[in-house]
Amino acid sequence: MASVRINFVTPTEPGLASLHIFEAASKDGPWTEIEEVTSIGTYPNYISYYETTNATSATGWFAIQWETTTGALSEMSAPWQGGTESVVSEIVQRVLLRDPTISEPIAVQEAEAVVCRYYRVDDPYSITEMPNPSELQGLTLLTMASCYVTVFFVGGGSSATEDYTAGLVSQKSGLGTSSQAMKLKDIEDLIAWANKILGRTFSVVLQMAAPDVPGAYCLLEEARYDHTRLLLDVP
């Protein structure tokens, strides 16, 4: 048997009773349940990772499923290969490191969307090669900007923060004061800077070609364009 640590986003739904862990030899299954975990904490302080010792292979594929106190089961998670780190999880870690007040579930959703757009894929977890540090920086900033935009419009430009205390543990979720003073222009600047890092900013100057018409005189043969003003002058 092998020991594998499985990281996941802390669930936000109340009334959970257990966590089911599945393993497969390939990404597409078939899946076999290898462990049911009942020590998952209590709402809202559920666990965010678990280390199973029942894995057949440390590099196998794993998925999880939550069960409620009434016996209802959630959908199975996206498959994850042991011994690897997904691009989405790496981006989320970097986002929360830069702004711990961002809600982790929101960061995951926005990171998935950013990865899909950047790589032009439908499954953000299909990207197996980790980007270089520069790309990770740009993707992280784009994800942060997406989180800020979401809460900016949903909250009408104000922050969305929730505080609670459970025993000795104090928690805060939402975007907090770091984005409270952030204006839409600041978010646009953040997006522009992220795109610049990713090399996605460019400008194009177009020049019309003279039509090849036998016996015709074309004014465009003497046309010129001004690079500084991006204007086309025709005498």
| pLDDT value of position 132 | 94
Tell me how many domains the chain contains: 3
Q: Are residues 106 and 170 in the same domain?
A: yes
Q: Are residues 15 and 76 in the same domain?
A: yes
Contact 82, 55 (CB under 8 A): yes
pTM above 0.75, yes or no: no
> What would the two tokens of residue 84 be?
């690897």
Q: What is the CATH number of the domain that holds 14?
A: 2.60.40
Q: Are residues 69 and 138 in the same domain?
A: no
Boundaries of domain holding 68 = 2-81
Cα gap 214→102, rounded to integer Å? 66
Q: 79 versus 132: which is more confidently predicted? A: 132
Share of the chain above pLDDT 70, in %: 73
Instruction: State mean pLDDT over 105-116.
Output: 91
Tens-digit pLDDT profile for residues 118-152: 999 998 888 878 999 999 999 999 999 999 988 88
Q: How confident is the model at residue 111 (pLDDT cuts 50, 70, 90)?
A: very high
Closest by alpha carbon to 187, among 199, 175, 198? 175
Share of the chain above pLDDT 90, in %: 45
Q: Are residues 132 and 54 in the same domain?
A: no
